[in-house]
Structure 1
């Protein structure tokens, strides 16, 4: 999508940074919106779905794209910050066309779509999908299957509703996307496409994504899986997130999934389910960093450096008598990360324990818990039972999840609460007419092309 008539394939646009004319980054490309046309005519490219700060998604008309060069999209004017909503008849190219099975017109052979090419029409600001990169032999991943690039008119079947589309090539495009961002993409897919993507994700990856989705989407996706796989995914989730998800299910279904889980994975989830949701016990994770008093500072820092550990959990380690799995032996205290950085590597953590920070009980209610974190300026709190055993830790992100509105994932970011883009002014024709006015008074008019 450079200013000339060069071509770009849509997979190369995924995640590309979007910059305004001043060189400031305003977001990243998450999809391309197209309008399929009858008679094998190349589809019109209407615009880009851009994810701005805080994962808010907006529509960028293609007529405002001045170029795609050196791995970045450059726009003219300011973005309309109204939330993107897909209209009837529109197609999300990444989300809906990749992995689709279509037919070569000349031979009648079934092929799988791996990518599609976009090109700018000469002397115009319009874009079309003109090329399709396909693999012969259906969706099989066997080696040495022939791939080829053909004209859009050389294939047929894009307009058909496919019942089992698959998602391998879509996921390859999103391979390096963070779980939270992939979750946001799935949230905007249709239920059918969401289920296909979930089915193709590895259990660990799906577990990470589920933890970032709204509860309704979590329940929907879990219900689309075979029970055995659903249990595997729950095992891969953090126990507190798995417990939150299971608490949304009917009791009989919840118990059936718990029975399918490995006992060692089901046990902490069952414990968490025994507490009220808005208490420390209901919000805590059962897998904080637990060390014996004879562990060294060097070993504690090695545990803190584990990449999969969240920042709040890495902020402190909990020192306990054996056993070191929750519920532990007697809780001795906490060592904060900054203290670990100040002491020599050979120092025993038992000698630098902070005993002034009193732990909280599992039945501590949410208001008292938030006051505790604010009073002591900490991001995690130890949860200890009456017998002095560490049960887990409550982190600030768990608390925020319970303090924020139920639909906070849909309302974050600039433009929250505004009507869907373009519903109140303007329509779009076959050539990509306007979606509505821009915010911020760019002086470029009300139309999508600034005319």
Structure 2
């Protein structure tokens, strides 16, 4: 960016791609690192936290940023691939400054920071925070009441104080465009205090999706800090197999309390999954695949497949069963794959299209056998039935991968070289 360029608000840069001079994407901006200075001087912007392809977060010094324009960041060709580690004198702009409650120096009114403006200094490569966009009162970005205004850094006080109960609405707003796995990765890198505040600000469905992507330790920490009624609501919103995995990590008394607070039908599904050994088809399966009765049509099946909240693995096929059509169902008749649904007229009955050649799994089938089955038949999901032939659920390939990868795979880096020093 040329000297004297206009200021930029950091919320507009959250998640934007970072490119090297050749046009190859290095990663995406996840946060900004600032250093508070004495004497009332504006904080110096040290660099960006960039998430690279391996999901590792690295530090990109601002002196290596050559352009910030058109929804992208351009950097010099060489970056340090060492994992970013925050130092005591540093502050994360999105993670620690957004939503912070401070006071206007002139009137002593309390305001909430909604956004932060950064600017490159004239004739230099240094950047600094120069303005805040704030709202008067105690509301965050999602609150409509209260006057908003843009003020100089020097016009507010309170950034040197530790704050209890920092809001999270503005930070949550920056997550709206991110996939749950990216939000989970962002949460994982926040402090426990900030992680709890952001989790409290997410709605139940969004938090459920994010919890499913977090390491077990983070899941247990977050669910343990929620009020029990809300924790039960979030568990109900999770996929039953993920909720069962999370509950199994809790002390017995906590687990039973939360199950008692859940809706009976949801709790029954989770209890059933928890009754199976973890590394078996029963322990891996979800109890909510797409189930249709024999008299359903191709049009009915495609309408179900189109449901937005279905994972690709579950949407790849439907399971045809006799009534009742919730697990455990009546007799399992077979599977109809998505490609077959596309080849037949909408009025065709799914019962005439079922593939009944492949033998379904039993709930005690061990994980290696489940893996071999999926690989041998090129399947992304496989039915699980009991001794009477009723469908209990389906095992999807993503759940199998979760159990085949190392326990810490969500935190594992796949980059080999550390690169050059970051110069901080």
Extract unaligned runs of 5+ from structure 1. 422-436, 439-445
Q: What residue is the counterpart of 1:430 in the other structure?
A: none
User: Secondary structure of 2:393's partner?
Assistant: strand
Q: What residue is the counterpart of 1:8 in the other structure?
A: 8
Q: How many residues align?
A: 423
Q: 2:14 touches 2:29 (CA, 8 Å); kept in 1?
A: yes
User: Secondary structure of 1:229's partner?
Assistant: helix
Residue 55 (structure 1) shift: 2.2
Give distance in 1, aligned partners of 2:177 and 2:125.
31
Q: How does the TM-score come out when normalised to structure 2?
A: 0.97
Q: What residue is the counterpart of 2:51 in the other structure?
A: 51
Residue 5 (structure 1) shift: 3.0
Give distance in 1, aligned partners of 2:289 and 2:422.
53
Q: What residue is the counterpart of 2:241 in the other structure?
A: 240
User: Secondary structure of 1:66's partner?
Assistant: strand
Give distance in 1, aligned partners of 2:318 and 2:330.
15
Residue 414 (structure 1) shift: 2.7
Write the mapping of 1:293-304 to structure 2, written as runs, cut at 5 A: 293-304=294-305
Residue 281 (structure 1) shift: 0.3
Give distance in 2, aligned partners of 1:202 and 1:402.
28
Higher relative contact order (CA 8 A, sep 6+): 1
Give distance in 1, aligned partners of 2:28 and 2:59.
11
Q: What residue is the counterpart of 2:195 in the other structure?
A: 194
Task: Detail structure 1 runs of 4+ shifted over 6 Å in the superposition.
Answer: none
Residue 150 (structure 1) shift: 1.2
Which has the higher mean CA deviation after the structures are superposed, 178-187 or 18-27?
Answer: 18-27
Q: What residue is the counterpart of 1:289 in the other structure?
A: 290
Give distance in 1, aligned partners of 2:166 and 2:145.
22
Cα 1:162–1:315 change in 2 (3 A) is same
1:62 equivalent to 2:49? Answer no
Q: What residue is the counterpart of 1:378 in the other structure?
A: 379
Q: What residue is the counterpart of 1:85 in the other structure?
A: 85
Give distance in 2, aligned partners of 1:23 and 1:4.
25
Q: What residue is the counterpart of 1:131 in the other structure?
A: 131
Q: 1:40 touches 1:156 (CA, 8 Å); kept in 2?
A: no
User: Secondary structure of 2:394's partner?
Assistant: strand
Q: 1:2 touches 1:69 (CA, 8 Å); kept in 2?
A: no
Residue 272 (structure 1) shift: 0.2
Residue 2 (structure 1) shift: 5.4
Write the mapping of 1:32-431 to structure 2, written as runs, cut at 5 A: 32-139=32-139, 143-415=144-416
User: Secondary structure of 1:399's partner?
Assistant: helix
Give distance in 2, aligned partners of 1:2 and 1:209.
39
Give distance in 2, aligned partners of 1:85 and 1:396.
34
Give distance in 2, aligned partners of 1:190 and 1:268.
34
CA deviation map 1:213-233 (0-9, x unaligned) = 000000000000000100000
Residue 412 (structure 1) shift: 4.1
Q: 2:168 touches 2:201 (CA, 8 Å); kept in 1?
A: yes
Cα 1:412–1:343 change in 2 (3 A) is farther
Residue 301 (structure 1) shift: 1.1
Give distance in 2, aligned partners of 1:191 and 1:331.
46
Give distance in 1, aligned partners of 2:346 and 2:49.
49
Q: How does the TM-score come out when normalised to structure 1?
A: 0.91
Q: 1:103 touches 1:111 (CA, 8 Å); kept in 2?
A: yes
Q: What is the CA RMSD across the aligned residues, in angstroms? A: 1.5
Q: 1:3 touches 1:68 (CA, 8 Å); kept in 2?
A: no
